[in-house]
Amino acid sequence: MVMKKKKGEAAEDEESGCKQLRVKGVRYLWESGIKRVPAEYILPLADRPGNAEIGSMINKKALELPTIDLSLLQDSGRRPRILKTLSKACKDHGFFQVVNHGIPAEALARLISSSRRFFRQPYEERAKYMSNDIWAPVRCGTSFNQLQDGVFYWRDFLKLNCHPLHTFLHSWPSSPFDLREEAMSYAKHTKGVFLVLMEAILETLGVARGMLHEFQQGTQMMVMNHFPPCPEPELTMGMPPHSDYGFLTILLQDKVKGLQVQHGDQWITVDPIVGSLFVNVGDHLEIFSNGRYKSVLHRVLVNSSKSRSSVASLHSLPFDSVVRPPPEIVDGEERLYADTDFASFLNYMTSHETKHKHFLESRKVVAASPAAKIN
């Protein structure tokens, strides 16, 4: 005999069902057929993207993204002009797109396809890599910073530590069968793009290129993001406004729009050229350049009909290196930020809700106390 449940019990069941699904990731919530976003995902009114805003952002003529043709950097006649564009983009925008980067379009398409198939696997396959340990070299999870999020975000992710590749490769997921190979190839390619860009950026900042070998040995983290459709996209987000910690983030996205960057007092929807890569300045480059180059706030919106995939590759100095402006940059100039390193960032992540530019702000030297400790 089937006993009819009382209203309260049914609501409780629904809540605990949602909790179980939430742990499994937002893909499961979406596939369960929910028509409403569970309460844990609903942002306070002030933080919501807002219907009107989404509409105006998508209809608005997109900002023309500063574009760097990487192949022209090798051309000594054209290099000075490209460096000028690069410097201006890092100063005024904190982002740009890169074309003619040399990564075959097929390799990019294969990586997106493999990443999609990873998130489509049954929970048990992904559960093998789920961890609350922010130091874990492979980490699968959901939301933004699961440990600290007051409100959950509509995102599932896989983070892969990529440096040194030979140490970590064997611990990456072996299913789908091609994920390791495609991710490894993309990691090598993006490291190359990062080094070409850093060489150019050091030149624009007047810093000796001898530093480049440090970037060669630098940390690299790959983040595969999956944003399933969402029944009420105006109430939640895929990722909150945040800045990335490293020097540069190189981002590959599929054709579905969702990424927005802050420019002036507006959120601009990024509408990239197919095959291009989107690059944004991170906190470490802002600290290194003593504020000349700006790490940019960005966020991800979701929509009710299409899932979206992106793969971010975050690059910085070696794990133990101290990030600080070199003498060429702070020659007699006041320091804006205290020194930092990767470990301080990870420790910060485990104890704070890392929205906006909180980490960078935590490194700010307070003007009123010139004797502020720089460490």
Ligand X SMILES: O=C(O)CCC(=O)C(=O)O
CB of 340 to Fe ion, least distance (A): 18
Per partner kind, with CB cut-offs from 5 to 8 A, the member of ligand X, Fe ion, none near residue 310 is ligand X
The answer to whether 41 touches 154, Cβ cutoff 8 Å, is: yes
- According to CB under 6 A, which residues from 290 to 349 bind ligand X? 298, 300, 310, 312
Per partner kind, with CB cut-offs from 5 to 8 A, the member of Fe ion, ligand X, none near residue 207 is none
Nearer to Fe ion, 182 or 244 (CB): 244
Contact call for residue 244 and ligand X (CB under 6 A): yes
Nearer to ligand X, 190 or 253 (CB): 253
Contacts of 320 (CB under 8 A, 6+ apart): 341, 342, 343
Rounded distance between C-alpha atoms, residue 157 and residue 226, angstroms: 6
99 phi/psi in degrees, rounded to 5 = -120, 165
Residue nearest to Fe ion (CB): 244
> Which of these ranges, 55-63, 109-117, 251-259, 351-359, lies near ligand X under the rule CB under 6 A?
251-259
Nearer to ligand X, 160 or 259 (CB): 259
Count residues binding ligand X (CB under 6 A). Answer: 11
Per partner kind, with CB cut-offs from 5 to 8 A, the member of Fe ion, ligand X, none near residue 300 is ligand X
Nearer to ligand X, 96 or 324 (CB): 96
- Contacting residues toward Fe ion, per CB under 5 A: 244
Residue 290 CA, chain-centre distance (Å), reads 22
Rounded distance between C-alpha atoms, residue 284 and residue 282, angstroms: 6
Contact call for residue 225 and ligand X (CB under 6 A): yes
- According to CB under 6 A, which residues from 253 to 282 bind ligand X? 253, 259
Count of CA atoms in the C-beta half-sphere (13 A) of 242:
20
The answer to whether 98 touches 279, Cβ cutoff 8 Å, is: yes
Nearer to Fe ion, 303 or 310 (CB): 310
Give the DSSP letter string of 260-289: EEEETTEEEE--PPTT-EEEEE-HHHHHHT
Nearer to Fe ion, 234 or 244 (CB): 244
Nearer to ligand X, 237 or 251 (CB): 251
Type of residue found at 302: V
Contact call for residue 239 and ligand X (CB under 6 A): yes
Rounded distance between C-alpha atoms, residue 217 and residue 298, angstroms: 27
CB of 270 to ligand X, least distance (A): 7
Q: How far is CA 265 from CA 3, 43, 259, 261, 297, in A?
A: 56, 20, 16, 10, 11
Question: Which positions lie near ligand X, rule CB under 6 A?
Answer: 223, 225, 239, 244, 251, 253, 259, 298, 300, 310, 312
